[in-house]
């Protein structure tokens, strides 16, 4: 059963809305309805764009997996080597460590 609105029905609805909300509130109601429709259209179009991006990512995903598999091999060489620390830095660290242990011992007393 189709629901059709003719010009007479639209005028009746407009009069009822005027009686309920008044003339002062109509611009605010129209503005909020317009913003709601705009955000709805924007959300629908963004969903379509996201779906298209996901499809493109699925096509390029095998290439990304190959490069990701090669990356850990390159990084392992840097991890296996010990860090190089100068003698001056080592002495400064030992001095700092001794100061910190002295401060913590004095705080506990």
Q: Chain-centre distance of CA 66, in angstroms?
A: 27
- pTM of the full structure: 0.35
Q: What percent of the chain has pLDDT over 90?
A: 18
Angle at 36 between CA 1 and CA 5, to 5 degrees: 25
Residue 90, token pair as written in the block: 């080592």
Q: Write down the mean pLDDT value for the chain.
A: 78
Q: Chain-centre distance of CA 40, in angstroms?
A: 19
Residue with tokens 């109509």: 26
pLDDT, greater one: 42 or 63: 42
pLDDT band at 12 (very low <50, low <70, confident <90, very high): very high
Q: What percent of the chain has pLDDT over 70?
A: 73
Angle, helices 26-80 vs 7-21, to 10°: value is: 90
In sequence order, which ranges of the chain are alpha helices (DSSP H)? 7-21, 26-80, 87-108
């Amino acid at each position: 059963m189709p629901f059709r609105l003719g010009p007479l029905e639209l005028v009746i609805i407009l009069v009822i809305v005027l009686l309920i909300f008044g003339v002062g509130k109509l611009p605010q109601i129209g503005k909020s309805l317009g913003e709601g429709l705009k955000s709805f259209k924007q959300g629908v179009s963004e969903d379509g764009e996201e779906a298209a991006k996901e499809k493109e990512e699925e096509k390029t995903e095998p290439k990304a997996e190959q490069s990701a598999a090669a990356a850990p091999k390159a990084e392992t060489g840097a991890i296996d080597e010990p860090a190089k620390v100068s003698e001056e830095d080592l002495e400064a660290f030992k001095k700092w460590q001794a100061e910190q242990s002295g401060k913590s011992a004095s705080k506990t007393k």
